[in-house]
Amino acid sequence: MALSATPTSRNRLLAALPSDVLAELWPQLKSVELPFRHVLQAPGRPIEAVYFPESGWSSMLAYMEDGDAAEVGLIGREGFVGLPVLLGADHDDIEAMVQCPGTALRMDVRAFRQELQRHPALHNLLLRYALVHHGQVVRTAACNGRHQTDQRLARWLLMAHDRAEGDEFPMTHEFLSMMLGLRRAGVTVAAGQLQKAGHIEYGRGHITITDRPGLESVACECYGIVRRSQDSLFGLSQEARDVYRP
């Protein structure tokens, strides 16, 4: 009788688990498509499932009473959508919206809670990720309050590039203004400066990263701080960090 293949996942959290733990989780995980602007977690609504992205990414959005929203975090294949469930809640006031289409492994909330109790390795790893994501949220708030628009835009583009499948990904000025909590005119000026410097190309709702080192030179220190914290979760050496994109 042929042996079944050992399951593998492009999600870095799942890939970091012991192989026997991932094998036991695998029957509970369902591969799903993540279409653009699909809401995975709605404010105030019960969370029905958690998602481990394997490609693409989601924006965590905080909405105001007037309907405006600002991004407070990004989640790609380095993490998972559903932190409130891990921390004992069944809903949150933050929305998780797919910003770059991709795929994910979906697990029902009831099964997820059972697996957390069964597998301390899973529980401990996800708690460590929760701390890393909290650091990203805190750093985003500090960055948006203290740093210049071009620095903030460069930081965000690098974070998106880390989670993209290539150098080009969908993006509009309207969405960038939401991500950075800025007026559209300010984003247009900053994007124009980065394009003039040769760091990006922008047009027809897409952005292409053409000079990543140049973009890193513009970004504030916040990008590096968050990236190092994320990489430390997975035990990457400095050499690996220099060549590895999540």
For the segment 8-35, what is each residue's pLDDT rounded down to a tens digit? 999 999 999 999 999 999 999 999 999 9
How far is residue 129 from each of residues 6, 13, 69, 242, 246, measured CA to CA in Å?
24, 8, 24, 21, 14
Query: What is the DSSP secondary structure assignment for residue 55, as one 8-state letter?
Result: S
Region 217-244 average pLDDT: 77
Instruction: State residue 202's pLDDT score.
Output: 87
Region 215-240: mean pLDDT is 84
Who wins on pLDDT, 198 or 246?
198
pLDDT at res. 77:
96
User: What residue ranges in 54-205 does DSSP mark as E strands?
Assistant: 57-63, 69-75, 94-100, 102-108, 168-170, 200-203
The domains of the chain, with CATH numbers, are: 12-142 (2.60.120.10), 148-219 (1.10.10.10)
Please state, rounded to an integer, the average pLDDT across all residues of the chain: 90
State yes or no: pLDDT of 121 exceeds 90.
Answer: yes
**Which pair of tokens denotes residue 25?**
């989780």
| Confidence at 4, pLDDT banded by 50, 70, 90 | low
- Beta pairing class for 200-203 and 206-209: antiparallel
Tens-place pLDDT, residues 139-176? 999 998 889 999 999 999 999 999 998 999 888 877 78
